[in-house]
Amino acid sequence: QVKLVESGGGLVHAGGSLRLSCAVSGFTLDHYTIGWFRQAPGKERERVSCISSSGGSILYADSVQGRFTISRDDAKNTVYYLQMNSPKPEDTAVYYCAAGDRYDTRCFEGRDMDYWGKGTLVTVSS
C-alpha cells in the first residue's frame, strides 16, 4: 500500500524559510514521479512543483519559481523535499505531496496523481 506522509509545516515569517518533507513508502518500483500541490482556504488546489523519477525534469508554478526548490534525498530515494525560501503570505495553504509511477506525467500536465498524503499546513505571517 502506497503511503505518503508530509511534515515540516508550521508558522513562518515572510522572507524566512521552511522545508517540507514527503516520506514515501509502499511503492514496488524504485523510482516514481512526485508532485507538490497546495490548497489555500477558499481556493482550489493548485500545482506547486513536479519532479520526474529520474530527477531530470522539474517544473515550478510561476508563483513560486525562483523561491521554492523541489529535491530528492538521493541516499534514501524515499524522501522528497520542498524548500520554501522567501515565502509570502499568499503561500499560506495546506501543502500536499502526491506520487505516481515513473512513467506518470500527469503532474507535469497539471492533472491529479494517484497517491496523496494528508497534507501539512503552512502559514506565512506578514
pLDDT tens-place string over residues 97-123: 999 988 889 999 989 899 999 999 999
pLDDT at residue 73, rounded to an integer? 86
Share of the chain above pLDDT 70, in %: 98
Assign 91 to helix, strand or coil: helix
* Residue 53 burial (CB count, 10 A): 19
- Tens-place pLDDT, residues 15-53: 999 999 999 988 766 678 999 999 999 999 999 999 998
Which residues does 41 contact at the CB level (< 8 Å), separation at least 6? 92, 93
Which is nearest to 44 in space by CA: 79, 4, 7, 96?
Answer: 96
> What phi and psi values does residue 124 have, to the nearest 5 degrees?
-110, 120
User: What is the average pLDDT value for the chain, to the nearest integer?
Assistant: 93
Beta bridge partners of 125: 13
Q: Please, are residues 58 and 52 in contact by the beta-carbon 8 Å criterion?
A: yes
Give residue 31's pLDDT: 77
Q: Band the pLDDT of 62: cuts 50, 70, 90.
A: very high
